[in-house]
Structure 1
Amino acid sequence: MLVLSAWCIRLVPVMLFFICYYFSKFYLQNFISCRLHCSKTPSFTKYQCNKIIAQKKWESLNLNINRNARLFLKLKDFFWKKHLSLLPLPYGLKGSESVLLKILANYRVANYSMPTSIESLDCRTCVVIGNGFALKNSSLGTAINRHDIVIRMNDAPVRGYEQDVGNKTTMRLFYPESASFNPDLQNDPDTLQVLVPFKQLDLDWLRQILFNEKRMTTGFWKPPPQVWLGRISQLRILHPCFLHLTASKLLQIPLEPKNQQNPVHPSTGILAIFLALNYCDVVSVAGFGYPASQNQKHLIHYYGNQAMKSMSIKDSHHDLSREAQILKRLEDMEAIRNLHQHS
């Protein structure tokens, strides 16, 4: 018995050593991680936010930005009073009234608004996450999650990339060709699924999904999902005025091309940034831009295997060089903040 007690006494310093070692290792790892990643985007106090708002840097852009803009289509605003739209989708509702009436009235798509917890914020901080390769190994996940509103696009994955892109998604903008058949695989349960209707077929796709009608696949640049398992309560339809103003004011591209030219529309990414400028007090971005490398095998996204050579697709409807110039201008004017560290 005495021998056993002596051995126990001898083991105490050893046990204390290992406890202290593992505790210090865990503490140092989290401390270093926080110093590296948490400090990139400090939380904004109400005073700091009000100071940014007071500067009104977006006013010099002359973009008709309205910080109280309603983001989503709402039944009573468009169908119970006189409503005239001079342009069809993507810049207006001309010719789409009947299908929208069926979707918004009969299926009662959500409550047409942002969550109350966000609407009531004194200072709304937004971050718009592009899908660019620059996010790979960026370790921006913690900084991204710190924002009140995280906006993502299309079917870009989150699971497995949390360290670089975060795991929070407030809203995800998509159109039929970019939709995931099961949004819950990559989003929080309360993520708003925001349909951006670029064409009449996009609304037809939604109507067919919601009412289980015969699916049509012709007219899409790639077949959209024939089954969509998204939560109807979280579904929203973006007001086309945001695409209209993004094109006419921000990008200054013609809304009605002449001489049979292929139409050029804003990308979902630049649209999301304009939307954020209208709704949020502080707007950050991450993951925008394409690799500077001329190597055609260089990957485009932080996920998948799509390479630069695929950018030569002849039917592209976006002016990506123009959009890059506009993003640089917004950043230089401090209307938006880039989370990536510039050299």
Structure 2
Amino acid sequence: SGKLPTRKLLFILCIVLVLGFIYYSAWKLHLHVWAPKTLYDKQGFLLKLDEELPPELKLKYGNLSKGACKPGYVAAKMAAIYPKFVKLAPMFLDQNYKRLGKINNYLPPFGVKTQDSIIDVILTATKKYGLDKYLESLKCKRCIVVGNGGVLANKSLGSHIDGYDVVVRLNQAPVSGYEKDVGSKTTLRITYPEGAFQKPKHYENHSLFVLSAFKPQDFKWLRQMVFKEKLVKGFWKSVANYVPREPADMRILNPYFIQEAAFQFIGLPQNNGLMGKGNIPTLGTVAITMALHNCDEVAVAGFGYDLNNPNAPLHYYEPVKMSIMKESWTHNISKEKEFLRKLVKAKVIMDLTNGI
């Protein structure tokens, strides 16, 4: 009689082992047939980036006359493909920046931790924290982020670019002499100390000078530019020692856009929230992230690195070749491209030079 339970136990054990083996094999081969198929990638974006607008957006934007600005379009489209998207993120730091929880927990470049006192000094001097009155009053803002890519050359997009309400330019990309291709209007130029024009003559009149701070030293530098003080050392290359702008025309870009682009959108390594290998987005992607939160429609031009074409020009204004990009320590170009492609595919942004 003692044999029966033993047989039963062996039988059950065999079944458990067989089931275990089947389950393990299926897991190994990713044959989780019974697991629900996920709709989102690991970043939280829809896998199926439909060309079609969701019905409620179709209703809202379908009847607008061709070419009319679509209020709220980018945020609505973004939320449709990335449900975690929250529109509220001011372009520049203002005197309420300490209420922005997400940037107070991180050191630069992802936040403002340890930088309060210097930021307060800068903001007290600049006294202005937004775009100009006219742009702030627009019910619908169309923005273009002009990248520095060689893909911009000989496209004659200048007058088209100038037709946007807000024209964002980056670092030392010149306008003078290239107007036919890149336009002549600059609303804001986003840069950091090592990326800023060193010769005052290159600065356009009437544009905002916007600092994107990557390290504590960058805030010190901006303070020196605001108060026209003598420059401290400690940069990885020579930097501008004078910016021909009044304090009222200087701004600090909200570092939340660096944080969101890096950790949420692109999925770069967090490195405990510190700047490190391959975890900093390019300034272009940071500017696009800023536009997603602050514009109703967003276009880009001059974006996209064709790393398969090492002899292509990297920038529209100098003969440096694409091959130099392969050596980038701070950026992850392929992951970044993946993110920008999602935006283009889902028609969140329009790529005028088809480089992404």
Aligned mates of 2:312, 2:97 — CA distance in 1: 47
Q: 2:128 aligns to what? A: 111
Shift of 1:217: 2.6
The alignment's TM-score, normalised by the length of structure 1, stands at 0.76
Within the candidate set 56, 64, 67, 1:44 is matched to: 67
Shift of 1:186: 4.2
Native 8 Å contact 1:118 1:148 kept in 2: yes
Q: 2:80 aligns to what? A: 60
Is 1:329 the counterpart of 2:342 in the alignment?
Answer: yes
Q: SS in structure 1 opposite 2:343?
A: helix
Within the candidate set 232, 244, 250, 1:216 is matched to: 232
Aligned mates of 2:85, 2:200 — CA distance in 1: 30
Is 1:206 the counterpart of 2:222 in the alignment?
Answer: yes
Within the candidate set 124, 132, 135, 2:141 is matched to: 124
The alignment's TM-score, normalised by the length of structure 2, stands at 0.74
Aligned mates of 1:279, 1:136 — CA distance in 2: 28
Shift of 1:157: 0.4
Q: 1:161 aligns to what? A: 178
Aligned mates of 1:193, 1:326 — CA distance in 2: 27
Going from structure 1 to structure 2, the CA distance change for 1:66 and 1:114 (only over 3 Å counts) comes to farther
* Cα deviations by residue, 1:74-118 (Å, 9 ceiling, x for unpaired): 124439x9998221111111111121122222xx21411111211
Q: 2:169 aligns to what? A: 152
Counterparts of 1:1-343 in structure 2, within 5 Å, are 44-46=67-69, 49-50=70-71, 53=73, 56-62=76-82, 64-78=84-98, 85-105=104-124, 108-182=125-199, 185-187=202-204, 189-218=205-234, 220-256=235-271, 262=277, 264-291=279-306, 293-295=308-310, 297-313=311-327, 316-340=329-353
Going from structure 1 to structure 2, the CA distance change for 1:146 and 1:210 (only over 3 Å counts) comes to closer
What amino acid does structure 1 have at the position aligned with 2:68?
Answer: T
Over the matched positions of the two proteins, sequence identity in percent amounts to: 34
Going from structure 1 to structure 2, the CA distance change for 1:260 and 1:183 (only over 3 Å counts) comes to closer
Native 8 Å contact 1:65 1:277 kept in 2: no
Aligned mates of 1:99, 1:129 — CA distance in 2: 30
Going from structure 1 to structure 2, the CA distance change for 1:64 and 1:340 (only over 3 Å counts) comes to same
Aligned mates of 2:83, 2:219 — CA distance in 1: 27
Q: SS in structure 1 opposite 2:251?
A: strand
Aligned mates of 2:287, 2:245 — CA distance in 1: 20
Aligned mates of 2:325, 2:346 — CA distance in 1: 29
Q: SS in structure 2 opposite 1:104?
A: helix
Q: SS in structure 1 opposite 2:271?
A: coil
Where does structure 1 lack aligned partners over 5 or more consecutive residues? 1-41
Aligned mates of 2:144, 2:273 — CA distance in 1: 36
Q: Which moved more, 1:54-63 or 1:169-178?
A: 54-63
Aligned mates of 2:292, 2:278 — CA distance in 1: 25
RMSD between superposed Cα atoms in Å? 2.9
Q: 1:18 aligns to what? A: none
Shift of 1:119: 1.6
